[in-house]
Structure 1
Amino acid sequence: MSGPARTPVRVLVVDDDALVRAGLAMMLGGREDLTVVAEASDGAEVREALDRHVVDVVLMDLRMPRLDGVRATALVRARTDPPEVIALTTFDADAEVLGALRAGAAGFLLKDTPPARIVDAILRVAAGEPIVSPSVTRRLIDAAVDRSLVAGAAAERLAGLSDRERDVVRALGQGRSNAEIAAELHVSVATVKAHVSRVLEVVGLSNRTQVALLAHDAGLV
């Protein structure tokens, strides 16, 4: 007997280019594990779309005329029980990408990313997994930020953590999964999840990607 059917991941596509929206909707629409529930042509339309639809993942263009993707990402992530956000960009070293990650995006994709990788990224983000590698994180920070200006502030935010929680932060900065962190620290996955939740609460962030950035800012990685 087969198990119960899994609910498809519900996606909101946000882009000011109608052809890009149509292409993404067509690509994702033919899958059983994904469904595009809504589209928006600007960041200003995102709030209404989220009010009207249940969304798991937002594909967010960063450069839009009225409300850009960075500010729209911050608004999305400030909602109660917010959907995950994947930033869509043309240039992977753009400061706007780092801004979106700091605003709460779980990761980013180039607009010319192959369809299979876009699908994989959506499914991974919906499952709570990171899609930004540590090397990419470091390159983004080095390209857009004077590290000396942020290291002190980052270290101050981490000051309230225990040594074990700092170990978890360092591992998140290295792109480790919960299972990998559990194996490294010789604890259960449930314990790792508890540590991650505690870290998010103490530093006032909403997801693992933001913590990974903080780890890089503080020089832990």
Structure 2
Amino acid sequence: MSDPINVLLVDDNPLVLSSFRQYFSTTSDITVVADAANGREALAELALHDIDVVLADIHMPTMDGPTLLEHINELDSPPIFVAVTAFDSDRTMRRILRLGGAGYVLKSEKPQILIDAIRSATDGGMVVSAPAMRRLVTNLRVDQPQRRVDPIDEALKLQTLTNAEKNVLVLLCQGMSNSEMAEELAYSESTIKKYVSNIISQFGATSRLNLVVKVLNADY
């Protein structure tokens, strides 16, 4: 059995910390080692514990999440950083991702999304909540230079995807979540997850976000 994933929770709301502890207590592979009320306290905890993942709020007094991430990046062996927030904004999301954050998750998400985000982050992936992902995809399209070919069409031609996987890729590039794709295509969520995993592998991507960026920013 592999070692548990050691997590540090960072949030200035005690109720949130308590709720998150409860979420992760239902798992056998994730352990909450410590918690902190702000970035400064988090840095002190990092000096005391062996932490794999920091799950941190963005808006906190004394030191906020993005500033904490900047300090974490200066450590010799920085833990993985996953941001969690109740106040979603494109500017903050882009800052977190630009600084190397492995996730950007809304507090309104179901507990399983947070659990999956921690697991995915330790596997080298990246998780972005569906609403934020949808906006990010839209921004990527807007930022594209005008082309004579559609990058998604070209990607579909270059990869040996099944028809079902092609349909999933198109919806992925629209920013849809697994549940939304399952409803749209009349598949189970487990089937959608399998297709997404296969597509990510074929494109040599590290996560669904990295896949979308690869497809939409590809130079064909």
User: What's the TM-score, normalizing by structure 2?
Assistant: 0.63
- The RMSD of aligned alpha carbons is 3.8
Task: Quote the Cα distance in structure 2 between the aligned partners of 1:72 and 1:115.
Answer: 24
Task: Give yes or no for the alignment of 1:71 onto 2:70.
Answer: no
Partner of 1:88: 84
Partner of 2:46: 50
Deviations 1:117-167 (A, max 9, x none): 111111111111222389955723866xx959xx9xxxxxxxxxxxxxxxx
Task: Give yes or no for the alignment of 1:132 onto 2:128.
Answer: yes
Give unmatched runs, 5+ long, in structure 2: 146-172, 176-195
- State the AA in 2 paired with 1:114: K
State which of 21, 30, 44 in structure 2 corresponds to 1:34.
30
Task: Quote the Cα distance in structure 2 between the aligned partners of 1:45 and 1:142.
Answer: 36
Task: Give yes or no for the alignment of 1:19 onto 2:15.
Answer: yes
| Aligned sequence identity (%) | 31
Deviations 1:180-216 (A, max 9, x none): 56645xxxxxxx6xxx9xxxxxxxxxx9899789869
Task: Quote the Cα distance in structure 2 between the aligned partners of 1:72 and 1:213.
Answer: 27
Task: Quote the Cα distance in structure 1 between the aligned partners of 2:200 and 2:211.
Answer: 13
Change (3 A) 1:64 1:24: same
Give 3-state SS (helix, strand or coil) of 2:56's partner: strand
Partner of 1:154: none
1:29 is displaced (CA, Å) by 2.3
Task: Quote the Cα distance in structure 2 between the aligned partners of 1:7 and 1:68.
Answer: 30
Give the number of aligned pairs. 174
Matches within 5 A, 1:176-195: 183-184=202-203
Change (3 A) 1:219 1:120: closer
- State the AA in 1 paired with 2:51: V
Deviations 1:36-69 (A, max 9, x none): 0010100111211111111111111000111111
Task: Give yes or no for the alignment of 1:9 onto 2:26.
Answer: no
Change (3 A) 1:213 1:80: farther
Task: Give yes or no for the alignment of 1:103 onto 2:99.
Answer: yes
- State the AA in 1 paired with 2:18: A
Q: Which 4+ residue blocks in structure 1 deviate beyond 4 angstroms? A: 133-138, 177-182, 207-216
User: What's the TM-score, normalizing by structure 1?
Assistant: 0.63
Partner of 1:62: 58
